[in-house]
Amino acid sequence: MTAAPTEMLALNRLYHWEKTTPGRIALTQPMGQGALRDFTWAELADQTRRMAAYLQAQGWPPGSKVAILSKNCAWWLMSDLAIWMAGHVSVPLYPTLAAGTVRQILTHSDAKACFVGKLDGWDAMKPGMPPGLPCIGYPLSPPDVLAQVEGWDAICARTPPLQGEPTRGADELATLIYTSGTTGMPKGVMHSFGNFAWALDAGIQRIPMTAEDRMLSYLPLAHVVERVLVEHGWLRTGLRVYFAESLDSFVADVQRARPTIFFSVPRLWVKFQQGVHHKLPPARLDRLLSIPFVGGLVRRKVLKGLGLDQCRIAAAGAAPMPVALLAWYRRLGLPINEGYGLTENLAVSHLTLPGVNQEGSVGPVYDGVEARIDEKTGEIQMRSPAVMSGYYQMPEQTRDSFTADGWLRTGDKGRIDAQGLLHITGRVKDLFKTSKGKYVAPAPIEDKLVMHEAVEACVVTGANLGQPLGIVMLNAEAARRAADAPARTELEATLKEHLGRVNETLDPHERLECLVVAAQAWSVENDVITPTFKVKRNRIEELYSANYEHWEASGRKVIWQAP
């Protein structure tokens, strides 16, 4: 596949829509208390030009780094475009980071300024802001931000728009996308405008998108999938983007947008399923779906309740989807395409083919992508024009991330079947050996454990134990129920039953000795999970490993960790 033409680069797409469809609504932003604000292409281009002129007036050297710390909103996208239009490089930060990580990224990236926008936990993040760093607020920023810094609307009101069509070359650095930090310090992945344009060329061949499509932006725009699929999909095709207001309003947000393309992580697909089962118990739903005509009515009603009745392409990624969950959605009339990719390759690596049942795999490579399995380690390695140029200011880590012949080392283990479909089997470094000398791959077992409706997250561990064990974190509702003794007893029985079912599917050396229910919730704040909800295994070992032998020897199948 050849390099994308100049007119397909991000800024050029903005100018295209500004000229050809100025009155078309491009973004729909909730403003609180049920109010909405629509932005046409002409309006958002005008505000982008004004902010770009302001940024240029600061006199920073071309290519300076400018950060964005905010939940998803219209101003997030306009900030990104303004940074590029002004000749600079954007540095998005997850809106849930701990203060120390905020400081680390802003310092490491040499950020000249930071847009501080819509945030739920600003008070905890604020200490991470380097002293004297210039900041710009959004209309939905926390009140104390707007009390201390100049806001977006005020700057736009007093700044004339930048004229002309400033362009950025395909080889120019567009952004630093910092990894979520599962293996240590977040790394700033360097991607060019050409990387993004090529990724969209490849992506649209697998997921056709048009100006008639609608997407809901709610997963962090600091994450590579949301950045490519939503932001650059929007710029490429001119589709309409809706934003979510809050976690509490999420179902209403989906119903408002009625997205035609919807991407989510497995955790949310599980929550959707659990929500349906609370209203329609599994046995009854299964019975209704089996009845001709009635089954069709039930499918439509369930999907409409989820806000996904207009969804023509549903996708998942970031973690494996249990095959049973994929089958459940397919029966509901919403087949989910499962994808695989990394920040380092703009998430453009593998995706199941729409309309084809390839469950249990992440599909074939995108056109233009090459993949192979290392014979010694089983590692998945790949290359394509969407692969990063490296990690910002980390030459050693950059060198280590590529093979001697130039293939990206993913760190994931997998196999490619006779049909060319990739199957993920775990992480190269996550394998551990029991005291019996047998290796255990935790990821496939965790995929099964997390299917219990009370389990929010889990880890399988146990290096040097006779048998591995599972540690689970309950979701908020289950944790509340467990405070009541009779409810806890009932929950323990269901967990024990679930453990038995999971163990029946495993080889003898993989079977879990017990399930441990964590006393403390895992969060970004206590550094157990990343902003993308991945559990940090090294932190789990720090917190729990001293208890492993005691738990293994207890003889109990479900253990409640002491607070």
Q: Is 236 left (phi over 0), alpha (psi -120 to 50) or beta?
A: alpha
Confidence of residue 414 (pLDDT cuts 50, 70, 90): very high
**Is a pLDDT exceeding 50 seen at residue 284?**
yes
Alpha-carbon Rg of the chain, whole angstroms?
A: 24
Contact 129, 149 (CB under 8 A): no
**Does the structure show a pLDDT above 50 at 445?**
yes
* Model confidence band, residue 435 (pLDDT cutoffs 50, 70, 90): confident
The pLDDT value given to residue 1: 44
| pLDDT band per the 50, 70, 90 thresholds, residue 2 | low
Token output for 208: 């056709």
Residues 6+ apart with CB under 8 A from 278: none
Helices vs. strands in the chain: H and E counts, helices first: 21, 25
Q: Return the C-alpha torsion angle 558, 560, 561, 563, nearest 10.
A: 180
When pLDDT is cut at 50, 70 and 90, the band that residue 351 belongs to is very high
Please state the rounded mean pLDDT for residues 144-164: 95
CATH fold for domain 261-309+311-427 = Rossmann fold (3.40.50)
Helices (H), 358-422: 395-400
Tell me which amino acid residue 271 is. Answer: K
**CA distances (Å), origin 165, targets 14, 55, 507, 529:** 10, 16, 62, 42
Mean pLDDT of 557-563: 88
pLDDT of residue 333: 93
Least confident interval from 44-58, 192-206, 314-328, 462-476: 314-328
3-state secondary structure 73-114: CHHHHHHHHHHHHCCCEEEEECCCCCHHHHHHHHHHCCEEEE
**Token duo for residue 512:** 């879990």
Q: Which CATH number fits domain 432-560: 3.40.50.920, 2.60.40.420, 3.30.70.330, 3.30.300.30?
A: 3.30.300.30
Common-topology check for domains 9-240 and 261-309+311-427: yes
Q: What is the pLDDT of residues 196-238, one digit of tens each?
A: 999 999 999 999 999 999 999 999 999 999 999 999 999 999 9
At 182, the pLDDT band (50, 70, 90 cuts) reads: low
Number of CB atoms found within 10 A of residue 62's CB:
10
d(CA 388, CA 398): 10
Percentage, residues of the chain above pLDDT 70: 99
pLDDT at position 247, please?
A: 82
Overall average pLDDT of the 343-356 stretch? 94
Name the pTM for this structure.
0.85
| Residues whose CB falls within 8 Å of the CB of residue 457, separated by 6 or more in sequence, listed in order | 267, 450, 472, 473, 522, 529, 533, 535
The neighbouring-strand residues paired with 419 are: none
Highest mean pLDDT: which of 75-84, 175-184, 243-252, 505-514? Answer: 75-84
Residue ranges covered by each domain of the chain: 9-240, 261-309+311-427, 432-560
9-240: what fold? Rossmann fold (3.40.50)
In one-letter notation, the amino acid at residue 286 is D
Alpha-carbon distance 339 to 351, whole Å?
4
